[in-house]
Amino acid sequence: VQTAESSAPQVNLNNGNSSQQTLYQELGGEAGLSAIVDGLLARIATDPRIVHHFQETDIALFRERAIEHFCLVADGGCVYHGENMALSHQGLNITQADFDALVGHLIESMKEQHIPLSTRNALLNRLAPMYSDITYH
């Protein structure tokens, strides 16, 4: 015996905004974050405003720590092996302009990886409260 399909047409409400993805997944997971950090590093390396801050830095190690840190911040569940933001930026005399320059590079790097505006802003919102730990001390 065949039964007629009598219920209302199904509407798929899960059109992106209501997905259960973590921010980490929206950023492309490990591969996506690695590409974002590589793009960030490439931009820092050619920016005379801020590159001097990284003269003494082991860039390979910084790259790993930055990926882990973004992963943690984006609910990716990574273990972060670095120092907290206050300690790791202590004595670097990072100004508001330095901070804005780096964040600008992060935005451009995310754009290059085709990360949508809402996802970019979600990450920036989580980084913004770190401002006072990173600058001027």
CB atoms within 10 A of CB 112: 15
Q: Is 45 helix (H, G, I), strand (E, B) or coil?
A: helix
Spatial distance between the Cα atoms of 5 and 79, rounded to a whole number of angstroms: 50
Q: Kindly tell me which residue out of 37, 40, 98, 119 binds ligand HEM, with binding defined by CB under 6 A.
A: 98
Amino acid identity of 11?
V
For the segment 45-84, give every residue that binds ligand HEM (CB under 6 A).
Answer: 50, 53-54, 56-57, 62, 65-66, 69, 82-83
Nearer to ligand HEM by C-beta: 112 or 131?
Answer: 131
Nearer to ligand HEM by C-beta: 19 or 81?
Answer: 81
29 binds ligand HEM (CB under 6 A): no
Tell the smallest beta-carbon distance from residue 59 to ligand HEM (Å): 9
Q: Kindly tell me which residue out of 43, 89, 105, 120 binds ligand HEM, with binding defined by CB under 6 A.
A: 89
Give residues with Cβ within 8 angstroms of 62, minimum separation 6. Answer: 41, 54
